[in-house]
Amino acid sequence: MARPHIRTALAALGAALLVAACSQGAIPPGAMVLTAASGPIESTIRLTSGGVARTFILDVPRGAAPAGGWPLILLLHGGGGTAEALGRHTRGFPTAATVRGYVVARPQGLDKQWHDGRAGVGSADDVTFLAAVVVETGRRVPVNPARVYAAGISNGAMMTGRLACTPTFRLAAVAQVAGTIGVGVAPGCQPAGPVSVLMIMGRADPIVPYAGGNIRVPFSTPGSRGAVVGAQAYAASWVARLRTPTTSTTIVLAPDARANDTRGAGGTEVEFATVDDGGHGWPGGLQYLPKAIVGTVVQTFSANDVILDFFDRHS
């Protein structure tokens, strides 16, 4: 039998998992530059949204912005996580993205979570906050408004899904890892326009069930973190929104991961990747918690590459 202090620590750990005007890239004076000169320009930006002080980390490539401005990726951490740790947990997604010419904004969720539409998860107006992050980034560096993307894991993935379904939030494409969308959000999904969607889901995810249903946070009351739409049903809903005609192919990402890729007219695309033994993690990223809690974070392919290749196709 576990000692009381060990059990308490594990409970806290499980609950924290998912409470489920510048040119050429210059950052204005006063921003806190954190990285070495050889990497992207990384700064912590502060703003007020809904009367609450919020922050985000901004990663900007060095050198001149392309004609029309840089593409921007909103990168959202999971429940209980932080914007700073997400760079490590993904094994360097922000740096990989800036090498390809993307600006990355890593917002910090209030109380380390996002109000993704599930009951009992967050209370902030995060749609408004994330819109403010896009605007503030555009004030500081040249951003291409036609190339704004969002990606996230777990609670951050579900927030990404909510953004894709918000009629006032225009995104070119989104990528969701280990998360679909809350069952209460799905019926009102009204994208602002054509949006391409990439999903990477582990069939063995112990937290977000592949088949849908209640989020299963260790040591939490069943159903207390709401329920999500199953991965296959969620993918089918986005395929149904594609403009016809459509074509479908199967992409082998790794021996244990395959993606069903459906293309619609006008360049729209839905790529739904299933990782056979994948747990609740970012493929190619860190095994950030024991397998007994989050399952296996597979190393057979890199989610960084898959996501950036997908975004590159939707420019």
- Residue 201 phi/psi, 5° resolution? -130, 135
- Residue 304 lies in domain: 4-313
d(CA 119, CA 110): 16
Over residues 119-130, the mean pLDDT reads 92
Give the pLDDT of residue 122.
Answer: 84
**Burial (CB count <10 Å: 0-12, 13-18, 19+), residue 47:** middle
Per the structure block, which two tokens stand in for 45? 């930006």
Taking the CB of residue 255, how many other CB atoms lie within 10 A of it? 9
pTM, rounded to two decimals? 0.88
d(CA 172, CA 85): 26
Give the pLDDT of residue 126.
Answer: 97
Over residues 294-313, the mean pLDDT reads 98
Give the pLDDT of residue 37.
Answer: 52
d(CA 199, CA 231): 8
pLDDT (tens digit per residue) in 159-173 = 999 999 999 999 999
Give the pLDDT of residue 104.
Answer: 98
pLDDT (tens digit per residue) in 26-54 = 444 334 334 445 678 999 999 999 999 99
* Whether residue 10 has pLDDT greater than 60: no
Give the pLDDT of residue 25.
Answer: 39
* Whether residue 4 has pLDDT greater than 50: no
Over residues 172-188, the mean pLDDT reads 97
Give the pLDDT of residue 212.
Answer: 97
Give the pLDDT of residue 219.
Answer: 72
Over residues 86-99, the mean pLDDT reads 97
Q: Is 171 or 21 the better-scoring residue by pLDDT?
A: 171
Over residues 176-187, the mean pLDDT reads 96
Give the pLDDT of residue 12.
Answer: 40
Give the pLDDT of residue 31.
Answer: 42
Over residues 101-105, the mean pLDDT reads 98
Residue 15: give its domain's CATH number. Answer: 3.40.50.1820
Can you state the percent helix, strand and coil of the chain, rounding each to 5? Answer: 30, 25, 45
* Residues contacting residue 88 through CB under 8 Å, at least 6 positions apart: 286
3-state SS class at 16: helix
Which of 171-175, 241-245, 251-255 has the lowest average pLDDT? Answer: 241-245
pLDDT (tens digit per residue) in 193-240 = 999 999 999 999 999 999 999 999 877 776 678 999 999 999 999 999
Arithmetic mean of pLDDT over the chain:
89
* Whether residue 80 has pLDDT greater than 70: yes
Which of 38-42, 175-179, 301-305 has the lowest average pLDDT? Answer: 38-42
Band of the pLDDT at 276, cuts 50, 70, 90? very high
Share of the chain above pLDDT 70, in %: 87
Share of the chain above pLDDT 90, in %: 80
Q: Is 314 or 5 the better-scoring residue by pLDDT?
A: 314
> In total, how many domains does the chain have?
1
Give the pLDDT of residue 56.
Answer: 98
